[in-house]
């Protein structure tokens, strides 16, 4: 049984999508939550209320992690420690994606993507690692990557580059921080339905096409990500370090799908 009682987690980008699913799974396991969102809007307040109904403490902090990195990270770190000095789990989840292809993307868009998807992860983890090492308490870090860190898409060159960096960050920070009592891992979702992916999935034929490219033939909601995250920051995963666990229905294992006519197996006909 996964239990996180006695722990407090900061979940960045935790008011919706994968971040909220992670926050709720951690809360179900007994962790208190500091929930980060871009702003204190109705979506954020509803997420806080839902987590509190799980009989744990939950505080909301706000910061724009796509802003200049040092100021944004300092603001979030300070707010988070003020909300709870006991944070010993960091879920570094906040991220975004943009859709211009490589020839069309401009410098400002690429820089913003890197600030949010790479720089903010790196320096927020550094802030907490320094605190934990100074306290001698150790800590647990989980980064949210993506299947796009392993498999590229033609119109997501900036996003794919950023998630490849997250994939490498999990390994290098593991090597740096494991000797200091800080466990670093990552989780890489495949295609799941979130507010960011809904507009694409709702286009005619897209969901069916993506199911064709996924061995278990599912495009689930973000709730499938929560239990994996809770496990990876729990004591049950104490000897798991530097791993990026893909939660993708098998998509990353498949060289390419069979044509649709081959989906009927001989035993089924």
Torsion of CA 233, 234, 236, 238, to 10 degrees: 50
Q: 79 — phi, psi (to 5°)?
A: -60, -40
**HSE of 263 in the Cβ direction (CA atoms, 13 Å)?**
12
Instruction: Specify whether 97 is catalytic.
Output: no
Catalytic residue among 77, 128, 132, 159: 159
DSSP state string for the chain: ----TT-EEEETTTTSHHHHHHHHHHHHTT-EEEEEESS--HHHHHHHHHHHTTTS-EEEEE--TTS-HHHHHHHHHHHHHHH-TT--EEEE---------TTT--HHHHHHHHIIIIIHHHHHHHHHHHHHHHHT--EEEEEE--GGGTS--TT-HHHHHHHHHHHHHHHHHHHHHGGGTEEEEEEEE-S-B-TTTHHHHTSTTHHHHHHHTSTT----BGGGGHHHHHHHTSGGGTT--S-EEEESTTGGG-SSPPPGGGGS-GGG-
**Active site members:** 159
């Amino acid at each position: 049984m996964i239990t996180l009682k006695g722990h407090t987690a900061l979940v960045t980008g935790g008011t919706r999508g994968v971040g909220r699913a992670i926050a709720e799974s951690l809360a179900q396991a007994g962790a208190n939550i500091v929930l980060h969102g871009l702003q204190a809007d109705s979506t954020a307040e509803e997420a806080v209320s839902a987590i509190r109904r799980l009989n744990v403490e939950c505080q909301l902090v706000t910061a724009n992690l796509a802003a200049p990195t040092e100021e944004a990270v300092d603001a979030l770190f300070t707010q988070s420690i003020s909300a709870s000095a006991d944070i010993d789990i960091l879920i570094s989840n906040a991220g975004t994606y943009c859709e211009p292809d490589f020839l069309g993307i401009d410098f400002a868009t690429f820089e913003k993507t890197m600030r949010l998807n790479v720089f903010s992860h790196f320096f927020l983890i550094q802030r907490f690692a320094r605190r934990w090492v100074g306290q001698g308490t150790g800590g647990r870090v989980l980064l949210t990557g993506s299947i796009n860190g392993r498999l590229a898409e033609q119109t997501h060159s900036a996003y794919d580059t950023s998630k490849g960096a997250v994939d490498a960050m999990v390994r290098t920070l593991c090597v740096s921080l494991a000797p200091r009592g800080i466990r670093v891992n990552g989780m890489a979702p495949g295609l799941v339905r979130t507010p960011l992916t809904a507009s694409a999935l709702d286009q005619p034929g897209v969901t069916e096409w993506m199911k064709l490219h996924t061995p278990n033939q599912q495009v689930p909601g973000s709730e499938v990500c929560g239990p994996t995250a809770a496990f990876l920051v729990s004591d049950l995963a104490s000897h798991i370090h530097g791993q990026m666990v893909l939660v993708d229905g098998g998509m990353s294992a498949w060289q390419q799908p069979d044509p649709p006519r081959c989906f009927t197996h001989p035993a089924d006909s």
